[in-house]
Amino acid sequence: MAGTWGRFNIVALILGFAFLYLPIILLVIYSFNESRLVTVWAGFSTRWYVSLFSNRGLMDAAWVTARVAFISATVATVLGTMAAVALTRYTRFRGRLLFSGMVFAPLVMPEVITGLSLLLLFVAIGFERGFMTVTLAHITFSMCFVAVVVQSRLLSFDRSLEEAAMDLGATPVKAFFQVTLPVIFPAVISGWMLAFTLSLDDLVIASFTSGPGATTLPMRIYSQVRLGVTPEINAISTILVGIVTIGVIVASLVNKRRRVRQWRDEQTAAQI
Amino acid sequence: MSRFLAFIASRLVIAVPYLWLLVFFLVPFFIVFKISLSQSAIAIPPYLPVFRFNEGIEGLLRGLRELSFENYGWLLDDPLYVNAYLSSLKIAAVSTLLTLLVGYPMAYGMARAPHSLRPVLLMMVILPFWTSFLIRVYAWIGILKPEGLLNQFLFFLGLIDQPLIIHGTTAAVYIGIVYSYLPFMVLPLYATLEKMDYSLVEAAEDLGCTPISAFWKITVPLSLPGIVAGCMLVFIPAVGEFVIPDLLGGSRTLMIGKTLWDEFFANRDWPVSSAVAIILLLILVVPIAYFQRAQARAREEEN
């Protein structure tokens, strides 16, 4: 195998990953820069992290974002999982084509369109813009991502397990919660994490649907970036990148342990 | 009784997400369409006519008569908008091609990597996708600015004596799109390349094919579904991209997502921005429908 993995492939990977990671690494390095000028290195310092925590506007925005992301990810996970079950289990129902269209379209829909259309909906029904409207908007687009993640896990799930549970007297609802859900749970969790980071990250849809008092962190960052590159933005970016990196690594380790355990259980079951 | 409960549960599983998407995804498009036929006005909300339920049928009919396609005629007459659409399509197409050129060797290298290394490589492609889009675009400002890190580096190497002006040009937008959307290209490509049977390539080479022509005649056609999926995932959102042209592009980089944003936030012209959105949607309907068909087919095959 190693023989066919030629030098060309290794060079392509090194260049590709350098391209992907270098900008982020530079961003992190320069967040520890003493100088106010982002591009001139003047020694190591954590002053921008200190000034970050005294920046009320940024801290308030971070708190709003955290709440929006938590609530919207949770609701989106429930709705997205339901949509995934509906799409994989019920292959025929009236309007299924429209349904699958509405699940896949938001994945590629330009954000300006989604944002504008949701804003106009909220205005048309007289909903006051603010925390609620941003949360509803985030639920709507992130549930589709959750649905796709959970659906691909459901497709590879062995349905005979569920059928066995029902043969043994479990109701379909009980079979779902006691057999199917534990098996697809890692996918549900990664769906939640994806929804959470999408919400944490969104600038365009939030700008359209948010109102006074519900400025999210990306909106705040964006308005500061427009005024120029500042080390403070580097500092908050570093914190966000750190949180996400730790989250993803922990999740993948947990997932791996689960899979190993599952594999061992299956082997044991096969021997019996 | 339990059969009845199961029936109710199965209906709910379909109905709840269905209704949610109808209300928050489909219905809003009709509202956008309706407002695109209205006139801008200094009022709250800033357009006319506004339909109110207490005005009855008569009010409704009067309102309907006030709707017109005027905004569309105006948009299509104004070269600014037409150019913005065309240049968005061009920028999206060029950057999709560039992303493919960067992404294909990466995906290929990953698919041919030793089995034990693949999960780590896959994770390394996904990780940037989880970190904030805005932050990743922002990172490039510091690199591409005239006094930025790239120019400092090139000065240091002695390759230039004048700073390269990249930030604020269309080139910067290309870099931004390729960089931000690269994982969307690599993941579907990797998925098809990993499943491919490489003994076919070996067979072709045994029969006298050069490695390069074996690549073009076997690997590329077999990875076509991945190429199509990756290109769609990059092209469609890139056409309506706002953040990248706004932060990296200059005043001369016309993109429709930015035009829509300015029309809405700076000019507060809701009807015109709605019309801009509807035309953008009409342009994208064909690729979106194609993408969905391809997705659905791939899933059916897995099933």
- B4 compared with B172, residue with greater pLDDT: B172
Helix (H, G, I), strand (E, B) or coil at B39: strand
Question: What's the gap between Cα A21 and its chain centre?
Answer: 19
User: What pLDDT shows up at residue B51?
Assistant: 66
What was the pLDDT predicted at B59? 67
Query: How far away is chain A from the Cα of B127, in angstroms, using its nearest Cα?
Result: 7
What CATH code is carried by the domain that includes residue B234?
Answer: 1.10.3720.10
Task: Identify the residue whose tokens are 């230039």.
Answer: B160
Cα A145 from Cα B111, distance rounded (Å): 25
Residue B2 lies in a domain: no
Average pLDDT value for residue range A11-26:
91
Summarize the confidence of residues A171-188 as an average pLDDT: 85
* Residue bearing the bigger pLDDT, A9 or B88: B88
Q: Is residue B144 assigned to a domain?
A: yes
User: Which residues of chain B are within 8 Å of residue A139 when distances are taken between CB atoms?
Assistant: 20, 24
pTM of the full predicted structure? 0.86
Span B202-222, average pLDDT: 86
Question: What is the average pLDDT value for chain A, to the nearest integer?
Answer: 86
pLDDT in the model for residue B303: 57
Query: B48: helix, coil or strand?
Result: strand
Residues from chain A that touch B141, judged by Cβ atoms under 8 A, are 225, 229
Q: Which of B24, B130, B281 sits opposite A136 (nearest CB)?
A: B24
Q: Which residue has the higher pLDDT, A157 or B92?
A: B92
Q: Which of B96, B127, B174 best tests the A interface by mutation, with the highest count of A CBs <10 A? A: B127
Mean pLDDT of B119-130: 85
The mean per-residue pLDDT over the stretch A57-73 comes to: 92
The total of other beta-carbon atoms located within 10 Å of residue B169's CB is 17
The mean pLDDT of A159-165, rounded to a whole number, is: 82
pLDDT on residue B53: 59
Domain assignment present for residue B99? The answer is yes
**Helix, strand, coil percent values for chain B (each to nearest 5):** 80, 0, 20
The percentage of residues in chain B with a pLDDT greater than 70, rounded to a whole number, is 92
Q: In this predicted structure, what is the pLDDT of residue A4?
A: 53
pLDDT at A2: 40
B85 domain residue, yes or no: yes
Residue B182: inside a domain, yes or no? yes
pLDDT band, residue B280 (cuts 50/70/90): very high
Handedness of CA A256, A257, A260, A266 (dihedral sign): negative
Residue of A102, A104, A116 with shortest CB distance to B26: A102
3-state secondary structure of B47: strand
Higher pLDDT, B155 or A147: A147
Of B65 and B84, which is predicted with more confidence?
A: B84
Looking at domain A58-271, its CATH architecture is: Orthogonal Bundle (1.10)
Q: Is residue B285 part of a domain?
A: yes
DSSP three-state, residue B275:
helix
Judge: A23–B143 Cβ closer than 8 Å, yes or no.
yes
Sketch the domain layout of chain A as residue ranges: 58-271
Q: What is the pLDDT, as a whole number, of residue A3?
A: 46
Q: Do A12 and B303 touch (CB under 8 A)?
A: no
Domain that holds residue B280: 70-302
Q: For A205-251, what is each residue's pLDDT tens digit?
A: 999 999 888 899 999 999 888 887 778 888 888 888 888 888 878 87
Residue-level pLDDT at B107: 94
- Determine, yes or no, domain membership for B42: no
For residue B253, pLDDT beyond 60: yes
Option in B2, B296, B302 nearest A155 (CB): B302
> Measured between CB atoms, which of B26, B127, B135 is closest to A245?
B127
ipTM tops the 0.90 cut: no
Top residue of A15, A97, A117 to mutate, by most chain B CBs within 10 Å, is A117
Is B222 inside a domain boundary?
A: yes
Residues of A in contact with B131 (CB under 8 A): 24, 197, 240-241, 244-245
Quick one: pLDDT at residue A1? Answer: 40
**Mean pLDDT over residues A107-135, rounded?**
90
CA dist., res. B213 & res. B219, Å (int): 10
Task: Indicate the number of domains in chain B.
Answer: 1
**Among candidate residues A74, A16, A31, the one with its CA nearest the CA of residue A230:** A31
Is residue B1 predicted with pLDDT exceeding 80?
no
Contact criterion met (CB < 8 Å) for A110 and B274: no
- Please state which of the ranges B2-6, B108-112, B158-162 shows the lowest mean pLDDT: B2-6
